[in-house]
Amino acid sequence: MFTPDSAIGVLLERLASDEPEQAWNEFLACYSSIVYQVVHSFVAGVDERGDCFLYACEQLAANRFKRLHRFAPDGRARFSTWLTAVVRNLCLDWHRHRFGRRRLFQSVAARPAIDQRIFGLVFQRGMSAEDVCRQLRAEGHPLSFVEVEERVETLRQCLTARQLWLLTSAQPVVESLDNGSAEATSAVQELVDPSPDPEMLASLHEIQDAVSRALRQLNDGERLLIRLRFHEGLSLEQVARLVGLKDAQTTDRRIREIIERLRVRLGITLPLRGKTKAASV
């Protein structure tokens, strides 16, 4: 749940205090989902996402939260929109530090910045025009589907046959089943609806509700540990660095204690390991 924009100023003031740790944990609890969503849109691999997420958070906290203090609470932009743009730039920095700056073709480098962004999304990352529209809207560029398609076609005409081949060979080819072949027809016929039946679906909803109630009984710090470890998928060492715990072992112990309490609240019992002890007479 996001902090209302009216309260961002108070949170920033607390981050500027001599003891900002609690405010930083509250910031992560409120906004780590936005950070992760931006990271998820930029980075493909699970491990790389964790590294990029940690880098973005550490940069937000660097120099006594200098970047966060640049936000003007009384300005026009909403904090969530502003944060999305900041994290996007941090993701680009992380990618450049890790893989180096990818040079644009001269014909593309001469195009406007929005065309260069579309080139990166379509020709380098393989995104569809529809996905590009959604991405650009999130970044503050509300282009229509037709406008994006027109710009993609203009960019395509700027590229030579060799450049197009280089871009295509660098992307994975996904073969569609809809090619009319006998193998494709057979594969489609063998597909089975994986969705659960109504009874199973109702049971899953009950379990989800019970877990949500149990999670709400945790304090903010405990929920943050669970979120970073299992929702954002960070390693124990990354979680420790982010929330200021001693090491991965300490983090693991804290998380195990939280999970054990959740098991008790949910009434989940685990089988004994090894041989079962005989009952005393």
DSSP states of 63-113: HHHTTGGG--TTSSS-HHHHHHHHHHHHHHHHHHHHH-PPPPPHHHHTS-H
What is the spatial distance between Cα 145 and Cα 159, in angstroms, rounded to a whole number? Answer: 22
69: nearest Cα among 81, 83, 55, 88:
83
Beta-carbon count within 10 A of 214 CB: 15
| Domain covering 199-266: architecture | Orthogonal Bundle (1.10)
User: Which of the given ranges, 206-215, 231-240, 254-263, has the highest pLDDT on average?
Assistant: 254-263
Gap between the Cα atoms of 230 and 217, Å rounded: 18
Over 60: is that where the pLDDT of 188 sits?
Answer: no
Q: Is the pLDDT of residue 43 over 90?
A: no
Provide CATH code, domain 5-99.
1.10.1740.10
Domain limits, CATH 1.10.10.10, in the chain? 199-266
One-character DSSP codes across 163-228: HHHHHHHTS-----S-S--HHHHHHHHH----SPPHHHHHHHHHHHHHHHHHHHTS-HHHHHHHII
- Minimum mean pLDDT range among 58-62, 150-154, 180-184, 196-200: 180-184
Arithmetic mean of pLDDT, 172-193 = 43
* Residue 273 or 122, more confident: 122
At residue 175, what are phi and psi to the nearest 5 degrees? Answer: -85, 130
Q: pLDDT at position 253, please?
A: 92
User: Stretch 20-37: mean pLDDT, rounded?
Assistant: 90
Neighbouring C-beta atoms of residue 7, cutoff 10 Å: 13
- Residue 194 pLDDT level (bands cut at 50, 70, 90): low
Residue 254: what pLDDT?
A: 92
Average pLDDT over residues 158-174: 67
Mean model confidence pLDDT for the chain: 78
Two structure tokens written together for 142:
């509300």
Rounded Cα gap, residues 67 and 83, in angstroms: 10
Reply yes or no on whether the pLDDT at 247 is more than 80: yes
Give the pLDDT confidence score for residue 66 in this predicted structure.
92
pLDDT at 212: 81
Domain(s) of CATH 1.10.1740.10: residues in the chain: 5-99
- Largest pairwise CA distance in the chain: 86
Q: How far apart are CA 21 and CA 243, in angstroms?
A: 8
Close Cβ partners of 57 (under 8 Å, ≥ 6 residues apart): 28, 32, 35, 242
Tell whether the torsion through CA atoms of 95, 136, 164 and 111 is positive or negative: negative
